[in-house]
Structure 1
């Protein structure tokens, strides 16, 4: 029989203040993705019959390139936040959890940067 209270077991495990910020940022990125994905789906439907040059001209316009960059950044950031929650909640091995978090963050950054550079390359005629 233990005389320790649940509060004694919970002390020293860190602050619970960071979770609210993470929750809000994930919800805000989800809300931002709604119009971006709708715009992208509508744009693809409108440009479905076009050829390669029409697609390059479409993505090369400043507005389209800017919105596409916002879509890429928001999508990878939102995905990284979601995978972070999954790793923190379901991976019991601390070393494996930290390694997974590092891999997810690096992979999201590299893929987002690759997508953004591809859009910029097309937009600037590269």
Structure 2
């Protein structure tokens, strides 16, 4: 039991000034995904019965390649931000939290890099 007042314990432990930035990034990536998802779904549905050459030529168009790259980056960034919040809120064992945060960061970076390379190869090679 402590004789210190709760205000005295909390003083100097103000916000890290990071929460608002994280919140805004999550909202901006959500808006980007909301705008890009209809394009992605329509493109994917139109290419369902297409052959390999048609898919490559469609993704090789500059507008489609740019939209695909933007979609992929927004998707993985949004996923990283969301998973980070889930881990921070529900994992209370410090070593497990750090391990999961690092794993999520590397997994999202690796997946986004692989996606960017794949789209770039399709756009450049065609």
> Tell me, which stretches of 5 or more residues in structure 1 are unaligned?
none
| Alpha-carbon displacement from aligned partner over 1:31-87 (angstroms, at most 9, x marks no partner) | 110111111001122233311111111111111111101000000000000010011
Q: Which residue of 2 aligns with 1:3?
A: 3
| Alpha-carbon displacement from aligned partner over 1:2-59 (angstroms, at most 9, x marks no partner) | 4333323434556242111111110111011011111100112223331111111111
Q: Give me the TM-score of the superposition, normalised by structure 2.
A: 0.90
Q: Which residue of 2 aligns with 1:119?
A: 119
- Say what the alpha-carbon RMSD is for the aligned residues: 1.7
- Report the number of matched residues: 126
Q: Which residue of 2 aligns with 1:83?
A: 83
Q: Which residue of 1 aligns with 2:53?
A: 53
CA distance in 2, matches of 1:83, 1:12: 29
With over 3 angstroms needed to count, the CA separation of the structure-2 counterparts of 1:107 and 1:14, relative to structure 1, is farther
> Tell me, which stretches of 5 or more residues in structure 2 are unaligned?
none
